[in-house]
Amino acid sequence: MPAPAVPFPKPTPLQLRPFRAVRYDADRVGDPSELIAPPCDDLDPARVRELRRHPHHVARLLYADAPQGAARELGRWLRRGVLRRDERRALYVYQQQRGARILQRGLIGDLLLPHQAGKLLSHEDVSAHVVRQRAAHMSGLRAQLEPLLLAHRGTESTTAQLMHHVTRRKPVTVARIGQITHMLWVCDDPAELALLASGLSVGQALIADGHHRHAACLHLSGDAASPWASSLALLVDTATYPLRLSAIHRVLPALEPEKAARTAAEVARVLPLPGGPRPPEPGELILTGGGQAWSITDPDPRALSEALADRPNQWAQLPAAVSDHLLLRHAWSVPDLPGAVTYLHDIRQATAAVSAPGGGSALLLPVISQDTVWELAGAGVLLPRKSTSFGPKPTAGLAMRVLGLS
């Protein structure tokens, strides 16, 4: 007699748990707009130095050379009331808007990092060196100052309706950076938390930003009891609030553009652009420098196959793989060393950086679709580093997770 069929266990949803956030006390320090930090991708070293001059700016913790020293400074801020920890565990509704237009709305909480494969999808490769740096900083500071940005495609309306209800109340924090207003609401009512928990039936999420911080948590977490078995996270339902996806461009200060165009023509189709640089179309890269520009398309299949040896087959269709492996490494021999390549998210900044003669070259990349990112991540295929930029990213210092507080 055959044994009765054993049903497969139902996958458990991701757990975004309430926690007691540490926040700036506006009654003590004034407008938090002067103390929180934009995402690190938006800051250059000169701007970081400027922000760190303020005695209580979160940049003093976020960009500290010695994390143990930053931990002592964090402790002083807590003792002096610059920062305070909320009395009750809560989830936090976080919203970014420009004028009256809501750009993003999501929930900040403490995400239990899943061990089950396919629950939390990474879409981009990481640098082991950067992971070690992030892990050392987080471990020394014993705090997370900015959340992971997680995207999910929701089907439940309970969470969205409750979040809308919460945002009708007065926010606990309002801050403005540039043209963006950041608002935070505390949701600590047990009945509301129970509703949120029932509505958060998120079975899968994509790491939109924070791959190195996620990898650092995994590096630090020895077992389920470790404080790094979970992470500060912002969960955004992209069915309601779609994230913006943009490309990341390469600036090569030591690469002469005309020589780069000649060498690229050995492995791809290269055509001059008399009108100067423009945004690339799908399947195209734009090389520019010194006021000149070239279109690069149709990479040679044999050269591309050689450059992408031991890489997933899907990489042959990815702009960052063509740019970094076929051109930068294979054709141009650009070393993988600090300073050899600068990554810029703004196409105008990338073009302007090399506009003067002798200023080097820029390689402009087209954006790939979000469906492509989800499809490859679901198949376990990681994109090359610096392939995509999801946004708007959350700010640092608005709702922080600090370990070891009684």
The per-residue pLDDT for range 108-153, each reduced to its tens digit, is 999 999 877 788 999 998 889 999 999 999 999 999 999 999 998 8
- Angle subtended at Cα 37 by Cα 55 and Cα 119, rounded to the nearest 5 degrees: 135
Alpha helix segments (H runs only) across 41-127? 45-52, 59-62, 67-80
pLDDT at 239 over 90: no
Which whole number is the average pLDDT over 67-86?
A: 96
CA nearest to 109, candidates 241, 233, 293, 258: 233
Poorest-confidence range of 36-45, 288-297, 322-331, 348-357? 36-45
Whole-number mean pLDDT of the chain? 91
The vertex-304 CA angle with 276 and 377, nearest 5°, equals 90
Q: Which pLDDT score is estimated for 45?
A: 80
Higher pLDDT, 342 or 14: 342
What does the alpha-carbon distance between residue 241 and residue 239 come to, in Å, rounded to a whole number? 6
Contact 288, 334 (CB under 8 A): no
The whole-model pTM stands at 0.89
**pLDDT of 11 strictly over 60:** no
What is the reported pLDDT for 41?
59
CB–CB of 330/307 below 8 Å? Answer: yes
pLDDT score at 8: 36
Kindly report whether the peptide bond that precedes residue 392 is cis, defined as omega within 30 degrees of 0.
Answer: yes
